[in-house]
Every structure is written in structure tokens, then in C-alpha cells.
Amino acid sequence: MRLGQHAVTLSLVAAAGAVGVYLYVVDRGSITTSEAEQRKRDWLPAFRREQVSRVEVERGAERYTLARRDDDAGEAPFHLLVAGRDEPADLPAVERLLGALEAARPERRVEAGLDRAGAGLAAPRLRLTLTMGKVVYRLAVGGAAPTPAGAAYGELDASGVVVVARDLAAQLDLAADAYRARSLVPYPPSELAAFALDGPGGARRFSRAAWGGWKLEGPDLRVDRDAFDRVLTAFADLRADSFLPDGDADAALAKDHVTLRVEPRDAGRPRAAFDVGGACPGHPDAVVAIRREPSRVSACVPKGALAALATPAEALLDAHAFTLHADEIDEVKIVEGARSLELARHGTAWHLRAPAEAQVDGEAGNAFAKALHELASERAPTRGDAAALGLVPPRALVTLTRSGEDPAHPSATETLELGAEREGVVWARRVADGALLALPSEAARELAPTTTALRSRKVCDEKPGDVRAVSVELDGARQTLARSATGQWTMSLPAGFAPDPGLAGDLADALASLAAERWVADADDGSFGLASPRGTLTLELAAADGGVARTLRVVIGGAATGGAYARRDGDAAVFVLPSAVLRRATRLAIDRSYLWLDPAELDLLRATAGARSRELVRRAGALDARTPAARGPWVEALRSKLGELRAEGVVHLGATRANEGLATPRLVLLAERHAPPPGVPARVRIAFGAGDTWEGTRVVYARRDDLDATFVVAESAFRTLLDAL
């Protein structure tokens, strides 16, 4: 009994002693028993990342320190102390180092008796001192270990020698430059109050304006939001690809370099100054960048930044009436005398408040907002006599509002005053900065307080299958196409040609679902060229019994931005017919297979290019060389390439033109058919002339002797045919 009581007493005493040791260890910031047990296989017996305050590195002659530094925001970033410099460290690089130390696990432990000098530990290549609260570790990395590949001997204080893996050894053995912050920019653009540039592009100083944006000092005019964003982005992208010794950077800095100075909004923080320009030694895709303030850093940065920083002032001045992007406009208000227009965004749609309550087609509302965003002066913004331009008082006011519901984009209001129209421009004044703008009269029509611009863009909304005929008279060209109830197309104008079903169908579809580029006026005021139109587009639509139920006619007037002015019969409003529809209407829908030659139908094919000629004749049921001796790879090549010969289209009717090169063709094909279908000639000659560009495609002019039309074929198809010779 006494023995048992004695044992219990000893156990309690031992437990109390253990608790006392634990408290003593914790209070002193040393390693706890549980930590040591959990990390018994790791190189460092304990690791508390949040307590790491200092990492000192000795690499040969190089010495540097990573020191945690509390800042005003309560964060604890690291600074790099090296060669008398104190600069923010690259936090991702520091995190990689700390992560490597935390996870460091030796490949194996080396038995006592190792020759430390032979293992490179008497004079190690690397010494690292880690301070973690009151715990301090001293690590050394020496010479290469025999296995595994790239491994090295390491030592932690006096705890014995280990072998560390190649990746760990490499991570620990980094030069100070690996921890230098790559960004040379101490403040993001959002924290800047002023931004000054000198050198290429001239002297320019920008500052925050009362309206919230940036202005160019001197004229005190607004800078273009998107253009200036490119400058600010170039500034923010000043990141070091590599670092340079200061002397080398000074020597390489170009004489015509850009000087950049920025001032933070917080007046208590220092300004920053940079010089950028000159080829970076050994880096052809980089330029020298020297940050001179608040601390010196010399580096190579991507040379793309230099072009934006050299943008001249005139290219940065804002010629737009408004800065708000289309998707940022939440309200529009236009007031001219007793007339007004009020429009508000409602989710993905728009709501008209004045002159009357109504829902607005979402596509039309978005197009209107886009047109307001794109509205710009055709001359550089300036200052001048506003009264002389009819702006005192203004005849109309246009106000755009951003609601500010998105925290990233605070509320904003922009107002434009409209004045007199003179010599094709409407003068306007931006209230924010007083800039005078010369708006093109055509574009300024968007600012009339009418609902015309908010109409649905649909001009025709018919079923394509109901189209029975299409007629086009435009710029002197005429074509008339008819479609039967079964869908077969015929062409009566121009006479003598077969229609191309694809082109005819595309034209019919485009006109049946015709949408305006934009609506511009409630009625023709005589300025749209509609009194003496340049052409008409006519659709004939089928009735339920198969006859013609009605006719739709569109009259085309003068040229407009994005197309031509037009009006549909029965509707006084004027719209812009899109350029794509104009191109489709003027393109003759003549059969594009007129140049195609089917080898199965031919008895003879002779191809002549300059002095070279090849001839195929039908032998044994197939086109072949006239004699076996003449046979070669060209035979199959020529036969196969005929199948790729298709016209892109007809460019004109009538005689050839000098620029088409058909008087002295580059290639001539002579073909003879056996048993041709009715109306198809037995003998066909096709000539290919000069190259050109047509509707954005590289083409070659071509002509078939029996057709009074000039075609174009893709240059690639022509080239493969020519190469076959």
C-alpha cells in the first residue's frame, strides 16, 4: 500500500514537473514537446510563420536580410536590407522561402564522423539565420552530396549533418535580387494626385480634376479616359525583368528618355520619380528604367511601356462629348426649349419617361447609349468665345448620369451644352471643363429630343420564304430576281445570265429582315439626298394564295457614316441603311459556277501560261496527257485543281477594263465538252488577268469569252492551278 501511494506521488510530481517545464518553455518562446513530436521528421523542430521576424543570408561575399516591418495598415510586409538599401521585398518570393523552410525535410541524416570540411560545412557556401520569436535557427548549406542528384550537405546548429534535396538547396541559395520587389511603382494609379511626363512626347502634367477625372494642366482640359488609362497602365506595368547596377543603368539611359514624376494623394507620402529609355544591356526586348525617388532602383523593364509614356498631349486630349461608356449610362435627359427626352435604364432594358411613358426596345436603347459614348468632335477640343458659337445661352442641354450602384464606379453626371450649327458642325460645350467641341452635324442628330433614335431597328420583319421577287436599282446597276413557290430562282435582269441561288437567297433574307444601322430623323428635311435618290430596293411578298400580296420599297439617298440614308415607303422616318446591306445589294447575284470545268465532261483541256502550255485529252474514259511520254505529276494536279475553280463573284458587266490585265492574260484555259447540256457551249475559253483586292479578299480577274461579264476568283485557287503547270 505504501509502495503504491509512493508511486502515485512520484507520478504526480513528474506530471507537475512536466507542466512546469511546458510553461517555462512556452513563456520563453522555445519549442514545445508537442511541436517537436509533430515535426520530428522535419529539418526545423518548430515553425511558426507568423512569428518569423528576420531571415539573414550570407552567400559568399553577399549579405542581405529580410526583415518584417509593421506598416500603418496593420500588415507585416518584409523589407529587403542589402548593400545599404532598405526597400520593400517581393512578398511572393518571401512566401516561397518561408514555405520551403516550413516544409523542409532532409533526404537522410548523416552518421557522426563525417568529414565536415570535405562536406563543405567548415566554410559553407550559404549561411541562413532564421529568427522566429525567441527561437533562432542557424542553417548552413555546404558541398554537393553524392546522392540524390543535385542534393547538398546541410547542418542546423549542432543537431547533426543532413542531406537536403536539390530544390530546397536551390531555394535557400538565392541572391538578394530574387527578393527585390519586381514592381518599381510605389503607388497604384488610383492613389495618385498628379502625373507629369517630359521627354519624347513633350512636357505634360496631369492632375485630378474637380469632376473626378484627369485633366491636362495648362489648357485644363479633360484627357481621354481610355487613352490616359493606357498611359497609367504603362506606368503600373513598370516591373523589373532584371535588375542593373546603378552605374550600368546610368550609362545605358538614352539621352531622349522619358522622365516621369508622380505625386500621391496622401501629402504625407513621398513623390516618386523615374527615368525610362535606352536599350537595356543584354536584353533586346527591354529598356532601362531608373526609379530615382523615393529610393534608387535600376532595372530592365518591357520596352512596350515606353511608347505609351511618350504619347503627346494632343493625342491624350478628350475629343468625346462624354466619358461614360455605353454600359455605364443609366439615365439620359435632353432638353431643347419646350421639348424634352428622358430615358432610364431598367435592368437590361430601357424605359422612356418623356415625352411619354413607354418601354424602349433594349437593342435600340443600347445602340443609342453607344452612339452617345462615341459622339466626338471632329477638331481638337479648345477654348474660345462661347457666345459667338451660340452657346450663351445654349439652345439645348444633354445630361448623362451614372447611378453609382456599382461600388467600383461612383455616381457621376456629365452635361453638354449645344449651340449653333455652322458649316456642317454643331458647336457644343462640355460643362465639366469648358471645352468647345465641333460635333459633325450628322452625328449631332442623336442629340435631338425625339424618340426616333429609340425606335426598334427593324425596318422589315418578313418571313424570308415569303419573298417572291427582289429588284435592285443602285448606282446605275440593276438586277431583278424572282423565286417560284418551290424556291427556284430566275434572273430577268441582267438578261442572259443564270442566278446564283446562294447570293439571291442571301439578298432576299437580308432585305426581308432589314434592320437599320440607326434612325436619324422623324422626316426628310432635304439634307439626306432622298429627293433625288441614288437607288431603290424592292421586295415582292407572297399572299396566302401564292400570288403577290404586297410590295415593300426602300429608297436610298446620300452616303452616311456606316451606310446610306434611306426611307421605307409608307414611313416618313429616315434611317441609315447598313454598309453590309449596300454591299450585298450591289453585288450581282450571277451564277458563280460559270468558270467551273468538270473534268468528266471534257474531251480537251489546254492550259497556257506565257510560253508554257499543257494539254489533256480524253483517253480511256479520262483526261490524260496526249502521249504517254508527256505524262507526269502535272496531269493529276491539273485535273484535281479544276474542281477548285469557282468564281467569288461578278465585279461588272460589259467590256474589260485596262486594270484587269485581261488583254495579256497570265493564264488561259481552253476546254471542249462532249455532249454539253442545252444552252452550254461546247467550246469555252477562260482567261485570267491581274490580281487585286475585292471585298477584303485577294483575287484575280477572270473572263469567259462567251459572257459579257468580268468575274474574280480567289488568288489562292488561281495559284494552285498555275502551280499545277
Q: What does the pLDDT look like over 384-422, one tens digit per residue?
A: 999 999 999 999 999 999 998 777 778 999 999 999 999
- Tell whether 175 and 40 lie within a shared domain: yes
For residue 19 the three cell numbers come to: 507542466
8 Å CB contact between 222 and 435: yes
Q: How confident is the model at residue 206 (pLDDT cuts 50, 70, 90)?
A: very high
**Among the three residues 546, 563, 586, which one is the final residue of a domain in this structure?**
586
Order across the sheet with 709-714: list the strands: 622-625, 612-619, 602-609, 667-673, 683-694, 697-704, 709-714, 647-653
b/e for 534-561, b at 16 or more Cβ within 10 A? bbbbbbbbbeeeeeeeeebebbbbeebe
Planar angle of CA 197, 200, 203, nearest 5 degrees: 40
For residue 28, tell me if it sits in a domain. no
CATH number at residue 471: 2.60.40
Virtual torsion, Cα 145, 150, 155, 159, nearest 10 deg = -70
For residue 26, tell me if it sits in a domain. no
- Residue 622 pLDDT: 87
Is 326's pLDDT higher than 60?
A: yes
Planar angle of CA 330, 336, 337, nearest 5 degrees: 135
- Tell whether 436 and 469 lie within a shared domain: no
- Tell whether 163 and 205 lie within a shared domain: no
Is 312's pLDDT higher than 70?
A: yes
- Residue 649 pLDDT: 95
Alpha-carbon span 291 to 330, nearest angstrom: 42
Please state which of the ranges 502-511, 608-617, 647-656 shows the lowest mean pLDDT. Answer: 608-617
Is 664's pLDDT higher than 50?
A: yes
Phi, psi of 579 (to 5 degrees): -60, -35
- Tell whether 38 and 173 lie within a shared domain: yes
- Tell whether 168 and 196 lie within a shared domain: no
**How many structural domains comprise the chain?**
5
Largest CA distance in the chain: 131
**Among the three residues 316, 351, 374, which one is the final residue of a domain in this structure?**
316
- Tell whether 422 and 520 lie within a shared domain: no
- Tell whether 47 and 163 lie within a shared domain: yes
For residue 9, tell me if it sits in a domain. no
- Tell whether 471 and 449 lie within a shared domain: no
Q: What is the DSSP letter of 687?
A: E
- Tell whether 370 and 474 lie within a shared domain: no
Is 131's pLDDT higher than 90?
A: yes
Alpha-carbon span 487 to 108, nearest angstrom: 84
Q: What average pLDDT does this structure show over 76-87?
A: 87
Is 29's pLDDT higher than 80?
A: no
- Tell whether 511 and 636 lie within a shared domain: no
For residue 639, tell me if it sits in a domain. yes
β-bridge mates for residue 371, sequence order? none
Q: What average pLDDT does this structure show over 27-38?
A: 67
pTM of the model: 0.72
* Spacing of C-alpha 510 from chain mean position: 30
Q: What average pLDDT does this structure show over 620-640?
A: 84
- Tell whether 519 and 450 lie within a shared domain: no
For residue 160, tell me if it sits in a domain. yes
- In the three-class reduction of DSSP (H, G, I as helix; E, B as strand; rest coil), residue 13 is classed as helix
For residue 483, tell me if it sits in a domain. yes
- Tell whether 620 and 551 lie within a shared domain: no
Q: How confident is the model at residue 300 (pLDDT cuts 50, 70, 90)?
A: very high
Of all residues in the chain, the percent with pLDDT exceeding 70 is 94
Q: What average pLDDT does this structure show over 17-28?
A: 37
**Radius of gyration of the chain from its Cα atoms, rounded to whole angstroms:** 40
**Among the three residues 128, 155, 179, which one is the final residue of a domain in this structure?**
179
Determine the structural domain holding residue 570 and report its residue range.
464-586
Alpha-carbon span 156 to 666, nearest angstrom: 83
For residue 13, tell me if it sits in a domain. no
Please state which of the ranges 86-90, 226-230, 650-654, 689-693 shows the lowest mean pLDDT. Answer: 86-90
> 350-363: per-residue pLDDT in tens?
999 999 999 998 98
- Residue 642 pLDDT: 85
Alpha-carbon span 330 to 333, nearest angstrom: 10
Q: What average pLDDT does this structure show over 499-516?
A: 96
